[in-house]
Chain A
Amino acid sequence: MNTPVHTSLVLRHSYFEATARSRVAQVLDAGSFREFLPPEVAQPSPHLAILDIPGAFDDGVIIGSAALDGKPVLVIAQEGQFMGGAVGEIHGAKIVGLLRRAALEKPAAVIFMVDSGGVRLHEANAGLIAISEIMRAVLDARAAGVPVLALVGGSCGAFGGMGIVSRLCSAIIMSEEGRLALSGPEVIETVAGVEEFDSKDRALVWRVTGGKHRYLTGDCAELVEDDAAGFRQGAIDVLAGRTEPLPSSTVLRAEQERLSSRRQRFAGMRDGLEVWAALGVPDPGQVSLIDRDSLVALKKGLPA
Chain B
Amino acid sequence: MENLEFRFTAQPVKPAAGAALCGVVGSGNLEILIRPGDEADACTVVVKTSARGFGKIWEAVIAEFASRHPVGGTRIAINDMGATPAVVSLRLGQALGDYTGGAQ
Contacts and interface: CB of A to CB of B under 8 A. Distances in A.
A52 B49 CA distance: 9
Given A79-B24, A81-B24, A57 B1 contact: no
Contacts of A46: none
A64 interface: no
A82 interface: yes
Contacts of A82: 24-26
A44 interface: yes
A38 B17 CA distance: 13
B1 A54 contact: yes
Contacts, number: 49
Interface string B2-27: 00000000000000001101001110
A55 B25 contact: yes
A55 B31 CA distance: 10
Contacts of B29: 81
B61 interface: no
A97 interface: no
Interface of A, helix, strand, loop or mixed by DSSP: loop
Interface in B44-60: 48-50
Nearest to B81: A54
A188 B7 CA distance: 50
B24 A57 contact: no
Interface in A54-73: 54-58, 60
B80 A54 contact: yes
Given A54-B81, A57-B31, A39 B19 contact: yes
A49 B79 CA distance: 11
Given A38-B19, A40-B35, A44-B79, A56 B1 contact: no
B31 A56 contact: yes
Contacts of B48: 44, 54-55
A55 B18 CA distance: 22
A53 interface: yes
Interface in A1-60: 19, 21, 38-40, 44, 49, 52-58, 60
Given A40-B35, A44-B79, A82-B26, A54 B21 contact: no
Residue with the greatest number of chain A CB neighbours at <10 A, chosen from B25, B49, B79 = B25
A39 B19 CA distance: 9
Given A40-B19, A52-B1, A82-B26, A57 B33 contact: yes
Interface of A: 19, 21, 38-40, 44, 49, 52-58, 60, 79, 81-82
21 contacts: A19-B24, A39-B31, A39-B33, A40-B18, A40-B19, A40-B21, A40-B35, A44-B79, A49-B1, A53-B1, A54-B25, A54-B48, A54-B50, A54-B79, A55-B79, A57-B33, A79-B24, A81-B25, A81-B29, A82-B24, A82-B25
